[in-house]
């Protein structure tokens, strides 16, 4: 088991640059996220950063833009479903 002082850790809400620097410096794929009491809160992996840059969808946009997008789709959804149902049953 790795001794506590040799673990590579970051605090919660650490900047992205700090995490990336630790991953690169220690040539590891995972960094442990801890709180002030050294309790494990999670883990950040290299894949997390890769996925965040590859899959920039509505979840990555601002809250206002995501709400607008949802509203736009919800306003005519029921009408479209009714039209599809009519076409399918006739």
Question: How large is the average pLDDT for residues 32-53?
Answer: 88
Six token digits for residue 90:
């006739």
Strands 40-45 and 9-11 turn out to be unpaired
Q: What is the reported pLDDT for 79?
A: 75
pLDDT at position 77 is: 67
Three-state helix/strand/coil letters over 12-25: CCCCHHHHHHHHHH
pLDDT of residue 86: 75
């Amino acid at each position: 088991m790795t001794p506590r002082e040799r673990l590579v850790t970051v605090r919660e809400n650490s900047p992205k640059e700090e995490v990336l620097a630790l991953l690169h410096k220690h040539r590891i794929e995972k960094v442990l996220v801890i709180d002030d009491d050294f309790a494990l809160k999670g883990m950040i992996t290299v894949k997390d950063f890769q996925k965040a840059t590859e899959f920039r969808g509505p979840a990555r946009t601002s809250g206002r833009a995501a709400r607008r997008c949802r509203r736009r789709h919800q306003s005519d959804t029921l009408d479209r479903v009714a039209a599809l149902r009519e076409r399918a049953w006739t």
